[in-house]
Amino acid sequence: MSFVYFRLPHTTQVYRNRLNNEPEEIASLAELNGRRGFVIAPFDTSAQCPILLLDAEWEPVDIADDCKQEAHLIDADYETERDRYAIDFENFHAQLRDGTFQKIVLARSARLKATEHIPALSLFARACNKYPRLFVALFSTKRSGTWLIATPEILVSGKCGNMQTMALAGTMRLSGSQLGFDVSGSGIGKDDIHWSTKNIQEQRYVETYITECIEHYTSDFSVFGPYTSRAGDLVHLRSDISFSLNDTAHIGNLLNALHPTPAVCGMPKADTRDFITHNESAPRDYYSGFAGTLDPDGDTNLFVTLRCMKIDGQDNTQSDQYTLYAGGGLLKDSTCQSEWEETEAKMNTMRQTFKL
C-alpha cells in the first residue's frame, strides 16, 4: 500500500493522501505537462528508478511522536565508506583539474542500523518538529521504497503562474553562539557568516544556470540575493528567483530544463550527469531528485530531495535499517577532507530525527 505524508515549510499542518493506489510510472518529465498529483522523481530516470505520479487527494491529519525512545545509528562500514569516498573524490576532482567540468557534485550514502526501533511516522513527526523551515515528507511505494525527506531547496513552487525557485549552494555548519540565530533566519546578518570564495563561486554557478533556464520560458523574473539561509544546524547561500509562467499546463517542460540543477549535478549538465551516473560508487536512486505536489491549476510545491534517507523494512513502516544520502559540490580548489566533513554535517539532519 502506498502512502504520502507531507508538511510545507513554515507551516504546521500535515497532509496525508486519501488514496492508496500505486503510482503511475512516467517516462519523462515532459509527460508531467497538464498532470496533477504527488510527484516522486529520481536524480536520473531509468527503468529501475522511474518518475512516479500518485493521484492524490489530500486530507489534513494530526501527527504525534508516540515513541519515547531515542536510538543511535551504527555504521559498521565507516572506514570502507571513507576509503570509497576518497577514490570517488580523486576520480571526480581529476575532471575539474583537467578542465573537463566547471563544477560537479559528488554524493555518497551510508547504510546504518539503529540501536532501537523507531516507527517511520515518529521519525517524520520529529523531523516536522525539528525543522520548521524545511519541506518534510514521508512516502512509500512498491517502486520507490520508503523515504523520509527534510529539505530546504525549492525546485518550483507557486500558484496561478506566480512561481518561484531558488539557487541554493554553499554549506557551513553552525556552532556555538551561532546556533542562537533566529529560527526564521532573519537573525543571520551579512557580517555573521564569512563565506569562502569556493562557496560563493559554487552558488553563483547555480544561480546563473537557473536564471538562464527560466529566460527560455519568461522574461518576467526577478532575483533576490544571495543571502545566508539556515537549514537545521547548517547555513547555505541562497538566491530567491520569482517569475511569471503564463503556460502552467507545460510546467513539465520547465522541470525538464531545470532538473537536475548544478546544485545536485554540475556544469555542463548533460556531461556531469552522465559522469555521475557511471562513476559514483553508490546509485543515488531518489536522492537529489525531487518530490511534492503538482497542480497546473492550483498549488505546485516541488522540492529537491536533499537531507533524506531510505527506510528498509518488510512492511515499509517499521525498520532498524536506513540508508542516508548526502553530497557536495566540487570545484577545482576543493579538498577531500572538507568535502567529507560537509557530507557528514548534512547527514546529521537525518540522524537528529532519532533523538527526542
pLDDT tens, residue by residue, 177-201? 444 554 344 455 555 678 999 889 9
- With beta carbons less than 8 A apart as the criterion, state whether 43 and 286 touch: yes
Element (H, E) at 301: strand 299-304
Q: How much of the chain, in percent, has pLDDT values that exceed 70?
A: 93
pLDDT over threshold 50, residue 49:
yes
Domains of the chain, start order: 3-354 (3.60.120.10)
**Which range among 68-77, 122-131, 250-259, 326-335 shows the weakest confidence by mean pLDDT?**
68-77
Q: What is the pLDDT of residues 88-131, one digit of tens each?
A: 999 999 999 999 999 999 999 999 999 999 999 999 999 999 99
Contact 119, 67 (CB under 8 A): yes
Torsion angle (degrees, nearest 10) of CA 178, 343, 227, 239 = -160
For the stretch 173-199, what's the b/e string if a residue is b when 16 or more beta carbons lie within 10 angstroms of its beta carbon? ebeeebeebeeeeeebeeeebebeebb
Q: Give the angle 161-162-167 at the CA atoms, nearest 5°.
A: 115
Q: With 80 as the cut, is the pLDDT of residue 275 above it?
A: yes
Residue 21 — pLDDT band, cuts 50, 70, 90?
confident
